[in-house]
Amino acid sequence: MKIVQFRDLKVWQLGKEIVLDVYTIRKQFPREEVYGLMAQMRRAAVSIPSNVAEGFKRIHNKEYRQFLYVALGSCAE
């Protein structure tokens, strides 16, 4: 399969799955955590596919790698 857009990247697809999973498990957290821990988890999860997509559009590989490192850091949150 030829990669034409960022949505074709397996890493972006997996990142999107993480976002959906985080939003699904949110319902299992206590209400008081929705604005604390859960908010941080949502931001970190959304950052993963967002940075992959933004990096994909960069012209230079060095910039793309930097965005992938940021996405990786978001995975560690």
Mean pLDDT for 12-39 is 89
Rounded Cα–Cα distance for residues 22 and 38 (Å): 8
- Look at 3 and 48; give whichever has higher pLDDT: 48
What percent of the chain has pLDDT above 90? 70
The answer to whether residue 63 scores a pLDDT higher than 90 is yes
Report pLDDT for 71: 95
CA neighbor of 28 nearest in space, from 38, 18, 14, 42 = 38
Is 1.20.1440.60 the CATH number for 9-76?
yes
The pTM assigned to this predicted structure is 0.86
Rounded Cα–Cα distance for residues 49 and 76 (Å): 14
Contact residues for 44 (Cβ-Cβ < 8 A; gap 6+): 74, 75, 77
**Residue-wise pLDDT tens digits, 30-43:** 888 778 888 899 99
